Amino acid sequence: MTFVTFMTSNRGRIMRVIAGIVLMSMGLVIVKETLGAVLALIALVPIAGGVFDFCLAGVLMGYPFRGAEAREQLAQEQHKP
């Protein structure tokens, strides 16, 4: 739950975008060739997740795909006695 809380927060979204940019840069500048291009394409997933507010890790843990819905569910879980 703590991981999903972080990943759906603004900080988590920013970190996903940064991680995606770093991964893309590594693929295009360091790895190069076909594997580098594949790595750069894979990097689009965390970038898009951060920009468009969705979290694949949350889905794997049973939370909604959309970040706003996941945050709402997390807030409800924290307020349960």
The mean pLDDT value for 50-60 works out to 94
Q: What integer pLDDT is reported at residue 8 of this predicted model?
A: 93
1 pLDDT above the threshold of 90: no
- Number of structural domains (the chain) is 1
Domain of residue 6: give its range. Answer: 2-78
User: What DSSP string describes 12-70?
Assistant: HHHHHHHHHHHHHHIIIIII-HHHHHHHHHHHHHHHHHHHHTB-HHHHHTT--SBHHHH
**Per-residue pLDDT reduced to its tens digit, 3-32:** 999 999 999 999 999 999 999 999 999 999
pLDDT band at 79, cuts 50/70/90? confident
* pTM as predicted: 0.87
pLDDT in tens, 36-51: 999 999 999 999 999 9
CA 46/CA 38 separation, integer angstroms: 14
Pair of tokens at residue 39: 């790595």
